[in-house]
Amino acid sequence: MRVLVAGGAGFIGSHLCDRIYAEGASILCVDNLLTGLQANIGQLLDRPEFTFRQHDVTQPLEAEVDAIFHLASPASPNPASVKSYLAHPIETALVNSQGTYNLLELARRTGARLVFASTSEVYGDPLEHPQREAYWGNVDPTGMRSCYDESKRFGEALSMAFARRHGVDVRIARIFNTYGPRCDSTDGRVVPNFVSQALSGNPITVFGDGSQTRSLCYVSDLVDGLWRMMMAEEARGEVFNLGNLEEHSVIEYALMIRDLCGSTSEIVHEPLPAGDPTRRRPDISKAARALGWEPKVFLADGLTRTIAWYREQLGRGAAAFSAGVGR
């Protein structure tokens, strides 16, 4: 099987490439390196059956493939982020619209299956908790975050239009907060932010009072869900939440990470960014039922692995650490 991973040099994409290679498939990894890093796929670059192509999927792409994972998009929920979609709003809107169109066209021409990596951001600041796939969301269509959440919603709609008109085999993954090695220390997400600050001895920044909640899924669990979505016949034309059920407040994560890092960093509070969701937890009963999928990595174990990786990066030099390590 020949698999295309768009956004394959990013955080989740690179871990997905590792999994696909382990499954014995050949991989075409495509990334424009706007937020991804070639270092994230360095372990695969000289392997047989792995090809890297630097390309922006907002431009048409020709390839012979059997399966397509569309993970090409800047992604970060934090307006304070250096590399978030807020730093690249037009690129973000285009990759989830024009880029999605180009990859759907490729799927139509080749008969490939396509998994579109959508996001829990399509639920906005949800009025339903936990969030089911049938929930339509509470999204500001013109707010600061709209370049991301509305373009993902459009990508979902376009995917289903291709499924209905052209019979393209599409599957939509709504990805909730994910963490693990290779997540950019500068991209503003909760775990890399807190870990990098704690290991560096800098103040740990919590927005608002920290009572807003998140459910964190370790990257290997998320990748397993994506792979199962691609392989399951029952997933055709379906939407699945992929995330963890364990919900904690942001301040709890800050304290937990500080303790696991053995840090004495002060916790400081800054104003809550506009549109920041107050609660976020998926209902994953559909994925459990149809895919036999559920997270397996406990939070403490996942955080310990993640901290160890960041500590190793820090040991290699502060410049490399602060520069970040992939989407």
- From the number of C-beta atoms within 10 Å of its C-beta (0-12, 13-18, 19+), residue 181 rates as buried
Indicate the burial class of 240 (C-beta count within 10 angstroms; 0-12, 13-18, 19 or more). Answer: buried
For strand 213-215 and strand 247-249, is the pairing parallel, antiparallel, or unpaired? antiparallel
pLDDT in tens, 138-162: 999 998 889 999 999 999 999 999 9
Task: Judge residue 209's burial from the number of C-beta atoms within 10 Å of its C-beta, 0-12 exposed, 13-18 middle, 19 or more buried.
Answer: exposed
Residue 266 has pLDDT above 70, yes or no: yes
180 vs 15: CA distance, rounded Å: 10
Handedness of CA 83, 102, 67, 46 (dihedral sign): negative
Q: Which DSSP string do the residues of 159-171 spell out, in sequence order?
A: HHHHHHHH---EE
Identify the pLDDT of residue 315: 84
- Which residues, 6 or more positions from 101, have their beta carbon under 8 angstroms from its beta carbon? 158
Q: For the chain, give me the number of helices (H) and strands (E)?
A: 10, 13
Confidence of residue 324 (pLDDT cuts 50, 70, 90): very low
- Taking the CA atoms of the chain, what radius of gyration do you get in angstroms? 19
Tell me what percent of the residues of the chain surpass a pLDDT of 70. Answer: 94
Sorted by where each starts, the structural domains of the chain and their CATH numbers stand as: 2-182+218-245+276-296 (3.40.50.720)
> Is a pLDDT exceeding 80 seen at residue 77?
no
Between CA 50 and CA 308 the distance in angstroms is 28
- Confidence category of residue 319, pLDDT binned at 50, 70, 90: very low
44: pLDDT strictly greater than 70: yes
* 33 CB neighbour count, 10 Å cutoff: 14
Beta carbons of 177 and 121 less than 8 angstroms apart: no
Catalytic residue positions, numbered: 148
pTM of the model: 0.94
User: Cβ atoms within 10 A of the Cβ of 201, count?
Assistant: 11
**Is residue 59 pLDDT above 90, yes or no?**
yes
Q: What's the pLDDT tens digit per position in 203-224? A: 999 999 999 999 999 999 999 9
How much is the pLDDT for 302? 98
